[in-house]
Amino acid sequence: MSDLETLEDKVRREMRSLREGFVVLILTSAENFFKATAALLEYAVNEAFLNGVYITASRPYTYLAKAFEDKGINTEKIRFIDCISALAGKHTGREGNCIYVENPVALETISAHLDTLLSEIGPEKKFIFLDSLSTFLIYNTESSIAKFSHSLINKLRFLNTNGVFMSLEKEAPTETIQRLIQLCDKVIKID
Amino acid sequence: MAEMRMCLTGIKELDIALNGGFPEGACVLVAGSSGTGKTILSLEYLFRGTKEFHENGVYVTLTEPLFKVLKNLEDFDFYDHEAVMSGAVTIMDLRQLSEKIGLKLGTMMIGEPEVILDVLENTVKGVKAKRLVLDSVTAVCYHLKDPEKIRNFIFKLGTSLAGMGCTTILISEIPPNERIFSRFGVEEFISDGIVLLEQFERKGTLFRTLQVVKMRGKNHKRDKQMLVITPQGIKLAPLIEEA
């Protein structure tokens, strides 16, 4: 990123260089995490006109939906899997565009709901967004997250669907990141 | 050799695991402890049967009152009240039925396999059912007591229903965390297939699993899969880790 290039410019430049069916790992800092997330979604939804599924273990759906709308992102094009609100007392199940899962340990449940939501979107071009590997690692073992990511990426490849995996650069274990780098098309660092 | 005719369950991932569904006319034991999803799985099998394959079904309960069975289904997309009203899916309480015909539960009707067989065969024949669920075979066996009677009951039930092209699910209630398929140890040897439902705990949360243990004359997947109950019905996902 040059001195004059903003974070949003960098995200757009990097994302425009990717081919359809991309799987990308985004490594960023805690300070830039939300800004990077919003810029990526802004590109995916508003510029590339993709529909998508956003899996969150970091922040609740209600918070995210409002924050994204404030950034001008059309959240009607995004379905959510919220893995965190039930830990704060929210009931599991579906409410509108969001499916609430009991907790971030329920990796297979997330995978099953993802299938449902992707099939709801239909044959249109789509993406999934995982927020974030570093948060999922708070609740799960490295080995289960490695297996989960691998199975998710295989699913994306099979369905020719785009994928964005977010992680805090400093908090994710090197071994997990190395495994993911091997499976992704590109790693984008946003400092 | 004639190709084996199959009975698709309508549960997408289960049909994949079964390599195309249950063999038509098979008697399949669905075994699991309380809360593992046996009743929902078998009712989804019936409702999808009528909706997607135009096959009538019969659900016979001995364990739960009818209103509870139906109430529990209302939140599922696969549930079709019209199918119940039209008789495409017949839901009957064997205890109520026995009272209607003047028999007391636990004495003559449930204790006499021929009487139950007659009721089941006549019902299946009467509504031209291609799918039957007996919930549960354990409750029947409990009243039959004698292993020889149990063996005969399941054998005769399987034979007569297979002759009518009816594919049967026998629900087997087993204790939690025991690697057995039935209470009396007889049911699994007479059945054509076994689908085992279990639960395990991961970091304080209970998860359900499904595994096809046996399906006579069929190649099938043998891996344990995560079973997730969603408003759209049962979904299976590859198991990442058991604990």
pLDDT value for B187: 83
CB contact under 8 A, A112 and B205: no
Residues of B within an 8 Å Cβ radius of A: 202-203, 205, 207, 226, 228, 230-232, 235-241
Kindly state whether residue A187 falls inside one of the protein's structural domains: no
Helix or strand (DSSP H, E) at A179: helix A174-183
| Confidence at B97, pLDDT banded by 50, 70, 90 | low
Which whole number is the average pLDDT over B115-136? Answer: 92
The two tokens of residue B95 are 């205890």
pLDDT value for B218: 86
Kindly state whether residue A11 falls inside one of the protein's structural domains: no
pLDDT at B73 exceeding the cut of 80: yes
CB atoms within 10 A of CB B222: 11
Q: CATH number of the domain that A142 lies in?
A: 3.40.50.300
pTM to 2 decimal places: 0.90
CB contact under 8 A, B237 and A112: yes
Tell me how many residue pairs between chain A and chain B have CB atoms under 8 A apart: 48
pLDDT at B94 exceeding the cut of 60: yes
What mean pLDDT, rounded, does chain B reach? 90
| Across B23-37, B145-159, B162-176, least confident range | B145-159
CB contact under 8 A, A107 and B238: no
CA atoms of B189 and B205, how far apart (whole Å): 33
User: Which 3-state string (H, E, C) describes chain B?
Assistant: CCCCCEECCCCHHHHHHCCCCEECCCEEEEEECCCCCHHHHHHHHHHHHHHHHCCEEEEEECCCCHHHHHHCCCCCCCCCHHHHHHCCEEEEEHHHHHHHCCCCCCCHHHHCHHHHHHHHHHHHHHCCEEEEEEECHHHHHHHHCCHHHHHHHHHHHHHHHHHCCCEEEEEEECCCCCCCCCCCCCHHHHCCEEEEEEEEEECCEEEEEEEEEEECCCCCCCCCEEEEEECCEEEEEECCCCC
CA atoms of B192 and B235, how far apart (whole Å): 24
CB contact under 8 A, A105 and B205: yes
CB contact under 8 A, A105 and B203: yes
pLDDT value for A23: 97
Closest Cα of chain B to A148: distance in Å?
A: 7
A92, A102, A108, A147: best to mutate for the B interface, most B CBs within 10 A: A108
Q: Cα A58 to chain center, whole Å?
A: 10
Tokens 């830990």 correspond to A87
Kindly state whether residue A7 falls inside one of the protein's structural domains: no
Closest Cα of chain B to A106: distance in Å?
A: 8
CB contact under 8 A, A94 and B205: no
SS3 call for A163: strand
List phi, psi (to 5°) of A139: -100, -25
CA atoms of A128 and A124, how far apart (whole Å): 13
CB B49 within 8 A of CB B22: no
pLDDT value for A91: 86
Q: How far is CA B129 from CA A38, B6, B49, B142, B166, in A?
A: 55, 15, 10, 26, 7
Kindly state whether residue A184 falls inside one of the protein's structural domains: no
| Across B3-7, B94-98, B189-193, B203-207, least confident range | B94-98
Please state whether the peptide bond connecting residue A149 to the residue before it is cis, i.e. omega within 30 degrees of 0: no
Of the partner residues A94, A103, A112, the one whose CB lies closest to the CB of residue B228: A112
Domains defined along chain B, listed by start: 23-200 (3.40.50.300)
List phi, psi (to 5°) of A42: -60, -45
pLDDT value for B104: 53
pLDDT value for B146: 86
pLDDT value for B108: 47
CB contact under 8 A, B205 and A113: no
CA atoms of A86 and A94, how far apart (whole Å): 12
CB contact under 8 A, B237 and A94: no
Residues of B in contact with A151 (CB under 8 A): 238, 240
CB contact under 8 A, A112 and B202: no
Residues 6+ apart with CB under 8 A from B51: B10, B78, B80, B83
CB B79 within 8 A of CB B49: no
Helix or strand (DSSP H, E) at A130: strand A126-131
The two tokens of residue A40 are 């990526």
* Number of structural domains found in chain A: 1
pLDDT value for A57: 97
Nearest alpha carbon to residue B143 among B62, B237, B43: B62
Kindly identify which residue of chain B lies nearest to residue A147, measuring between CA atoms: B240
pLDDT at B107 exceeding the cut of 70: no
CA atoms of A74 and B23, how far apart (whole Å): 48
CA atoms of A151 and A156, how far apart (whole Å): 9
| B242 or B29, higher pLDDT | B29
pLDDT at B239 exceeding the cut of 60: yes
State ipTM. Answer: 0.85
Kindly identify which residue of chain B lies nearest to residue A117, measuring between CA atoms: B232
Of the partner residues A102, A147, A148, the one whose CB lies closest to the CB of residue B205: A102
Give the relative orientation of helices B113-126 and B137-144 as an angle to the nearest 10 degrees.
Answer: 150
Find the domain containing A146 and state its range. Answer: 23-168
pLDDT value for B186: 82
Kindly state whether residue A105 falls inside one of the protein's structural domains: yes
pLDDT tens-place string over residues B158-206: 999 999 999 999 999 999 988 889 888 888 888 999 999 999 999 889 9
Return the amino acid letter for B62: L
Per-residue tens of pLDDT for chain A, all 191 residues: 566 789 999 999 999 999 999 999 999 999 999 999 999 999 999 999 999 999 999 999 999 999 999 999 999 999 999 999 999 998 888 999 999 999 999 999 999 999 999 999 988 899 999 999 999 999 999 999 999 999 999 999 999 999 999 999 887 888 888 989 999 999 999 98
pLDDT at B142 exceeding the cut of 90: no
Strands A98-100 and B205-215: unpaired
Kindly state whether residue A107 falls inside one of the protein's structural domains: yes
Strands B225-230 and B205-215: antiparallel
Kindly state whether residue A182 falls inside one of the protein's structural domains: no
Which whole number is the average pLDDT over B56-64? Answer: 91
CA atoms of A56 and A75, how far apart (whole Å): 14
Residues of A in contact with B202 (CB under 8 A): 105
CB contact under 8 A, A108 and B232: no
Kindly state whether residue A157 falls inside one of the protein's structural domains: yes
